[in-house]
A and B are shown apart, each in its own frame.
Chain A
Amino acid sequence: MDAFTTLNGVVAPLDRSNVDTDAIIPKQFLKSIKRSGFGPNAFDEWRYLDTGEPDVDCSGRPLNPEFVLNQPRYQGASVLLTRKNFGCGSSREHAPWALLDYGFRCVISPSFADIFYNNCFKNGILPIIQPEAAVDRLFEQTFEAEGYALKIDLLKQSIILPDGESLSFEIDAFRKDALLKGLDEVGLTLQYASDIKAFEDKHRTAMPWVFSE
Chain B
Amino acid sequence: MAGQTLYDKLWESHVVREDESGSTLIYIDRQLVHEVTSPQAFEGMRLSGRKAWRSGASLGVPDHNVPTIDRDKGIVDPVAKKQVDTLEQNCKDFGITEFLMGDPRQGIVHVIGPEQGITVPGITLVCGDSHTSTHGAFAALAFGIGTSEVEHVLSTQCLVQKKSKNLQVRVDGALKPGVEAKDVALAIIGVIGTAGGTGYSIEFAGSAIESLSMEGRMSLCNLAIEAGARTGLVAVDDTTLEYVKNRPYGPTAEQWSQAESVWKTLHSDDDAVFDKVITLAAEGIEPQVTWGTSPEMVVPISGRVPNPADEADAVKSSGMARALEYMGLAANTPMTDIPVDVVFIGSCTNSRIEDMRAAATVAKGRKVSDKIKYAMVVPGSGLVKAQAEEEGLDKILIEAGFQWRDPGCSMCLAMNADKLLSQERCASTSNRNFEGRQGNGGRTHLVSPSIAAASAIAGVFATPESL
Residues on A lying within 8 angstroms of B by beta carbon are 16-18, 20, 22-23, 26-28, 30-35, 45, 51, 54-55, 83-85, 88-94, 96, 111-115, 118-119, 122-123, 172-175, 184-190, 192-193, 195-196, 199-200, 203, 206-213
Contact = CB atoms under 8 A, between A and B. Distances in A.
Contact of B48 (A119, A186, A192, A193): A186
B118 to A, nearest CB: 10
Contacts of A122: 146, 148-149
B285 interface: no
Interface string B1-40: 0000000000001001101011101010110000011011
A93 B158 contact: no
Contacts of A199: 16, 27
Contacts of A35: 40, 43, 147
B464 to A, nearest CB: 30
Nearest to A90: B130
B89 to A, nearest CB: 10
B191 interface: no
A58 B391 CA distance: 50
Interface residues of B, number: 79
A53 B414 CA distance: 13
A162 B112 CA distance: 54
Given A172-B23, A185-B148, A209-B255, A85 B195 contact: yes
The 4 closest A-B pairs by CB, nearest first: A213-B56, A122-B148, A33-B39, A209-B251
A92 B147 CA distance: 7
A119 B414 contact: no
Contact of B30 (A83, A173, A189, A210): A210
Interface in B135-181: 144-149, 151-152, 155-158, 160, 162
Interface in B286-338: 294, 315, 319
A182 to B, nearest CB: 13
B113 to A, nearest CB: 14
B152 A189 contact: yes
Contacts of B21: 172-174
A30 B34 CA distance: 12
B158 A196 contact: yes
Given A31-B415, A196-B27, A207-B262, A91 B40 contact: no
Contacts of B30: 210
A49 to B, nearest CB: 12
B112 to A, nearest CB: 16
B436 A115 contact: no
A192 B435 contact: no
B440 A207 contact: no
A192 B25 contact: yes
B129 interface: yes
Contacts of A185: 148, 152, 160
Interface string B50-87: 10011111000000110000000000010110110010
B37 A93 contact: yes
Nearest to A114: B230
A189 B130 contact: no
B152 A115 contact: no
A208 B252 CA distance: 10
B140 to A, nearest CB: 11
B449 interface: no
B148 A92 contact: no
Given A33-B43, A92-B146, A114-B199, A213 B440 contact: no
Interface stretch (B120-128, B346-354, B361-369): B120-128
Interface of B: 13, 16-17, 19, 21-23, 25, 27, 29-30, 36-37, 39-40, 43-44, 48, 50, 53-57, 64-65, 77, 79-80, 82-83, 86, 120, 122-123, 128-130, 144-149, 151-152, 155-158, 160, 162, 194-195, 198-199, 228-230, 249-252, 255, 258-259, 262, 294, 315, 319, 413-415, 432, 434-437, 440
Contacts of B436: 22-23, 26, 45
A186 B435 contact: no
- Which of B25, B29, B147 has the largest number of chain A CB atoms within 10 A? B147
A208 B255 CA distance: 8
A90 to B, nearest CB: 6
A212 B58 CA distance: 12
A203 B57 CA distance: 14
A105 to B, nearest CB: 17
A31 B17 contact: no
Contacts of A18: 194-195, 294, 319
Contact of A33 (B83, B122, B415): B83
Given A91-B145, A172-B22, A207-B262, A22 B437 contact: yes
- Which of A33, A96, A112, A212 has the largest number of chain B CB atoms within 10 A? A33
B16 A192 contact: yes
A118 B195 contact: no
Contacts of A190: 155-156
28 contacts: A20-B434, A27-B437, A33-B83, A45-B435, A85-B228, A91-B130, A92-B37, A93-B37, A93-B40, A93-B147, A115-B145, A115-B146, A173-B21, A174-B160, A185-B152, A189-B156, A189-B160, A190-B156, A199-B16, A199-B27, A207-B259, A208-B258, A209-B250, A209-B259, A210-B29, A210-B30, A213-B54, A213-B57
A71 B353 CA distance: 51
Given A22-B435, A89-B130, A16 B27 contact: no
Contact of B440 (A17, A45, A84, A195): A45
Contacts of B259: 207, 209
A185 B48 CA distance: 12
Nearest to A132: B315
A114 B146 CA distance: 11
